[in-house]
């Protein structure tokens, strides 16, 4: 399992089915860890309707984890 460090929440087409764990640290100091594939499955229907998903093949948030994804966060 690969781990990726980030400063924002992200979901990318190139990471689908890669079994990647993403550890994000926001500017406010809050941190979260999630499995990219689990986050994608939660957001799949919404992502496929978004312009950023079609144009950039990714979705990011620099301020927080989307509410729909919070149920699949990894807690230590």
State both tokens at 61: 């948030």
pLDDT digit string (tens) for 34-69?
A: 999 999 999 999 999 999 999 999 999 999 999 999
For the segment 14-35, the average pLDDT, to the nearest whole number, is 96
Question: For residue 14, what pLDDT band results from cuts at 50, 70 and 90?
Answer: very high
The answer to whether 23 and 5 are in contact (CB under 8 A) is yes
54 pairs with which residues across the strands? none
State both tokens at 1: 């399992």
pTM above 0.85, yes or no: yes
- Dump the DSSP string for 35-75: EHHHHHHHHHHHHTT-HHHHHHSEEEESS---GGGGGGB--
């Amino acid at each position: 399992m690969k781990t990726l460090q980030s400063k924002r929440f992200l979901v990318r087409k190139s990471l689908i089915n890669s079994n990647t764990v993403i550890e994000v640290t926001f500017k406010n100091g809050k941190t979260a860890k999630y499995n990219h594939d689990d986050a994608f499955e939660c957001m799949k229907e919404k992502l496929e309707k978004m312009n950023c998903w079609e144009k950039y093949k990714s979705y990011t948030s620099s301020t927080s984890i989307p509410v729909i994804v919070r149920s699949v966060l990894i807690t230590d």
